[in-house]
Amino acid sequence: MRTFAKSNPKTKSKSSKFYVTTAIDYTNSSPHVGHAYQKIAADVLARWNRSLGNKTYFLTGTDEHGLKILRAAEAAGKSPKEFVDALSGEFKDAWQALNLSYDRFIRTTDADHKKIVQKFVKHIQKDIYKGVYKGNYCVGCEAYLPDDDIVSGKCKIHQKPVEYIEEETYFFKMSKYAAPLLDYYKKHPEFVKPYGRLEEVKQRILREGLRDLAITRAKFSWGVPFPLDKKHVCYVWFEALQNYITALGWPSGAKFKKFWPADYHLLGKDNTWFHAVIWPALLMSAGIKLPKTIAVNGWVTVNGQKISKSLGNVIDPKYLAKKYGADAVRYYLLREAPYGEDLDFTEANLINRHNAELADELGNLVARVLTLLEKFSNRKVPKAKKQKAEDVELIAQFDDTVRHTKELISELEFHRALEKIFAYIKLANKYVADEKPWELAKQNSQHLNTVLYNLTESLRVITALIAPFLPETAEKITKQLGLNAVPQLKKLDWGKLKVGTETKRGENLFEKVDAEKIGVVEPFEKLDLRVAQIMAVDEVPGADNLYKLKLNVGKIGFKQIVAGLKRHYEPKELKNKKIVIVANLKPAKLKGVVSQGMLLAAEDSAKNVGILTVNETEPGADVFIVGIDKKPVENLDLSEFIKITLTTKAGSVYYKDKFLQTYKEKVKVEKVKEGAVR
Ligand SMILES: [Zn+2]
């Protein structure tokens, strides 16, 4: 597991300025949930720092030049400018729907960007020379590929043939910066997060060295004109990287002086090389300070698969924000997985978190406290009297929560920060249950006002903590608490809530979503997997690969299943084995024989087939994945089963990184090492 290494305390932003950037997205296709993930992280950092009182600048935008866009525009029958205008607009719309509070949305077609890039080229002219580039280019990557990244003539990432190019170009003397970069990494282990990524970069430089970088193209004109030669345009990556300083008006702009160096460049793991090697080399050449930290996030997959147009699993962030609310999407994405690791997006999990955490914990607490104030204090915040031990505990936990959350955010541990904040919300809910204000009211207890004050105050501080993650919700709670402005993290001390503040109960913050009703259910939930023992194996007349198996499924009874195993197993190899079946599959007829379910077997790329087995477990027992409830449906359609991808690795069977098991043992697979269950 990759975790963000503890950063050097020196690099913690104690200063009063904060500059965060995101990857600028390439405008050759529409925004999806993978783009949104990183932008939301940047937004949380920006809002968090503003709330701490730091002068903050948050930059995002779009990368709009290059051959890939030119070709995509041609394919769409548009001019490149028309094409990027439309797509850039889509990104802006999506970010608005997710409530991103960026200070500037830069487009690499912006006039100031182009002008400053040209200035930058002249500034590093000493490191630029003319030559001829010979090599393989991947349009998908918009990059010349080293031999390492080409497998049988194709780009490793894009699986498309590379194009051999031989052309006149200008080079940047990157080779010159190999030693300075290695030296810099050594002195600044916090330069790339998570730490393992920097190690990969280092190893590659040590292995391959650094080649000079071709920074211009002469075969097309969709780019920033190269100021040293009119026949050339700047190579897209070379100029796009500069957006982080062009946006601030390098070299003399006030913003540049105030905000550079960046505290964080957030980017996806496929962009690590460009940001950890090329960008710092360019900055070194220009004599500009390097950014403090490059934070690499994992990829977002959807239901275990890579996001791609051809798989039809591109999820529009605007659609999600509309369906569940921006806050639920923001919360889910940052709570679901550690920021440096891959995240598997499923709507079912989003709904689970929305219901169990946002509605049941946070929404419930707010509704309870506001109702209590209405009933027992005429909606006004009462004065706290003597604090008892249990009250002191709630206050002490507040201090602890704030301190820890601050630390976790500075380490980009968003998921743990949210966990911490929600542990406090849980504690406040428990405080209500333990103190029973309604009983205190019956007894005319002095302690009632103290409890009501503490609860309302806990809502105020919780609002400050959640506001960067859940800005809309924070606004709503602020109104209900009768405060003028969303509470800030700066000087967030307990006890600042004014006695007499008039509160106003509002609507529920989160309405629970019925996943079943809207047709979003974790597909695995629908399966009823059971252990079955093979009692008899018979041939099926006229079928050269089928057996008819008689199975004992314990308390479920006996079943007959038809299985395509004849080419892979002798009957005696199967008899008495304990296997795994889908017990709730709609019965089907194969070659005229009824099959009441299906056995699970795996197949590898060499077409070896092996069945899933257990040893110790009795027939009829459940087969399951920890963390997924079983809600089997009757007569499950085969098409539903096919949606579920089970894989095998080292003899075990996995669903989304968790293994298939019974209450006694892991399920094993025969004959197949790495394969898929069919
Ligand atoms: Zn490629």
Predicted confidence (pLDDT) per residue in 397-449, tens digit: 999 999 999 999 999 999 999 999 999 999 999 999 999 999 999 999 999 99
Q: Which of 141, 265, 447, 559 is catalytic?
A: 141
Please indicate whether residue 236 or residue 628 has the higher confidence score (pLDDT): 236
Residue 81 bears catalytic tag: no
112 Cα–ligand 1 center, Å: 30
Helices vs. strands in the chain: H and E counts, helices first: 22, 33
Residues 270 and 174 in one domain: yes
Kindly tell me if the per-residue pLDDT of 239 is higher than 80: yes
632 Cα–ligand 1 center, Å: 42
Residues 312 and 432 in one domain: no
Residue that is written with structure tokens 């041939």 in the block: 539
Please tell me whether residue 452 adopts helix, strand or coil conformation.
helix
Residues 538 and 419 in one domain: no
Residue 232 bears catalytic tag: no
Please tell me whether residue 223 adopts helix, strand or coil conformation.
coil
Residues 668 and 570 in one domain: yes
Q: What is the CATH number of the domain that holds 199?
A: 3.40.50.620
Q: Which of 155, 404, 415, 656 is catalytic?
A: 155
Residues 635 and 539 in one domain: yes
Kindly tell me if the per-residue pLDDT of 500 is higher than 50: yes
Would residue 335 count as lying in a domain?
no
Would residue 257 count as lying in a domain?
yes
Residues 147 and 126 in one domain: yes
Please give the helix or strand (H or E) that residue 573 lies within, else none.
helix 571-574
236 Cα–ligand 1 center, Å: 15
pLDDT digits (tens, 9 = 90+) for 6-36: 444 444 445 599 999 999 999 988 999 999 9
Would residue 331 count as lying in a domain?
no
What pLDDT, on a 0 to 100 scale, did the predictor assign at position 14? 52
Residue 188 bears catalytic tag: no
What pLDDT, on a 0 to 100 scale, did the predictor assign at position 313? 77
155 Cα–ligand 1 center, Å: 5
Residue 234 bears catalytic tag: no
Residues 300 and 357 in one domain: no
Bond prior to 523 in cis (omega within 30° of 0): no
Residues 495 and 528 in one domain: no
Please state, in angstroms and rounded to a whole number, the distance separating the CA atoms of residues 194 and 297: 8
Structure token digits, residue 583:
């017990």
Kindly tell me if the per-residue pLDDT of 3 is higher than 70: no
Which of 632, 622, 635, 630 lies closest to 663, judged by CA? 622
Please state, in angstroms and rounded to a whole number, the distance separating the CA atoms of residues 26 and 267: 13
What's the chain's average pLDDT? 93
> CB under 8 Å to 298, separation ≥6 — which residues?
268, 269, 337, 339, 340, 341, 342, 343
33 Cα–ligand 1 center, Å: 21
Q: Which of 186, 309, 504, 666 is catalytic?
A: 309
Which of 330, 331, 406 lies closest to 54, judged by CA? 406
Please tell me whether residue 257 adopts helix, strand or coil conformation.
helix
Q: What is the CATH number of the domain that holds 557?
A: 2.40.50.140
**Under a CB-based contact definition with an 8 Å cutoff, are residues 140 and 155 in contact?**
yes
Q: What is the DSSP string of 157-214?
A: TT-SB-EEEEEEEEEE-GGGGHHHHHHHHHH-TTSEESHHHHHHHHHHHHHH----EE
Would residue 280 count as lying in a domain?
yes
Please state, in angstroms and rounded to a whole number, the distance separating the CA atoms of residues 622 and 2: 33
Residue 275 bears catalytic tag: no
Structure token digits, residue 636:
């499950």
Residues 486 and 530 in one domain: no
Please state, in angstroms and rounded to a whole number, the distance separating the CA atoms of residues 138 and 441: 73
Bond prior to 541 in cis (omega within 30° of 0): no
What pLDDT, on a 0 to 100 scale, did the predictor assign at position 343? 94
Handedness of CA 33, 39, 42, 43 (dihedral sign): negative
What pLDDT, on a 0 to 100 scale, did the predictor assign at position 637? 87
Residues 354 and 312 in one domain: no
Structure token digits, residue 667:
């399920």
Q: Which of 92, 138, 318, 526 is catalytic?
A: 138
Question: What average pLDDT score do residues 208-230 get?
Answer: 94
523 Cα–ligand 1 center, Å: 33
160 Cα–ligand 1 center, Å: 7
Structure token digits, residue 643:
């949606």
Range list of β-strands (E), 585-625? 588-590, 593-595, 598-599, 601-604, 609-614, 622-623
Structure token digits, residue 269:
């793991």
pLDDT interval class at 600 (50, 70, 90): very high
Residue type, 121: V
Phi first, then psi, for residue 267 (nearest 5°) are -160, 160
Residues 179 and 307 in one domain: yes
Kindly tell me if the per-residue pLDDT of 1 is higher than 70: no
140 Cα–ligand 1 center, Å: 4
Q: How many domains does the chain have?
A: 3
**Model-level pTM?**
0.80
| Domain carrying residue 475 | 347-381+391-520
Other C-beta atoms lying within 10 Å of the C-beta of residue 5: 16
Would residue 149 count as lying in a domain?
yes
Please state, in angstroms and rounded to a whole number, the distance separating the CA atoms of residues 6 and 272: 20
**Domain limit, last residue, from 520, 540, 555:** 520
Residue 158 bears catalytic tag: yes
Please state, in angstroms and rounded to a whole number, the distance separating the CA atoms of residues 131 and 136: 16
Residues 27 and 103 in one domain: yes
> CB under 8 Å to 522, separation ≥6 — which residues?
346, 348, 349, 628
> CB under 8 Å to 592, separation ≥6 — which residues?
none
Residue 32 bears catalytic tag: yes
375 Cα–ligand 1 center, Å: 64
**Under a CB-based contact definition with an 8 Å cutoff, are residues 452 and 489 in contact?**
no
**Under a CB-based contact definition with an 8 Å cutoff, are residues 259 and 19 in contact?**
yes
**Under a CB-based contact definition with an 8 Å cutoff, are residues 463 and 486 in contact?**
yes
**Under a CB-based contact definition with an 8 Å cutoff, are residues 670 and 615 in contact?**
no
What are the residues facing 538 on neighbouring strands?
548
- Cα separation values, 180 from 125, 176, 214, 221, Å: 19, 8, 20, 34
Would residue 202 count as lying in a domain?
yes
331 Cα–ligand 1 center, Å: 32
Which of 494, 480, 490, 584 lies closest to 530, judged by CA? 584
Q: What is the CATH number of the domain that holds 458?
A: 1.10.730.10
pLDDT digits (tens, 9 = 90+) for 124-156: 999 999 999 888 989 888 888 888 889 999 998
Would residue 273 count as lying in a domain?
yes
Question: What average pLDDT score do residues 524-552 get?
Answer: 93
Would residue 108 count as lying in a domain?
yes
32 Cα–ligand 1 center, Å: 20
Question: What average pLDDT score do residues 255-274 get?
Answer: 96
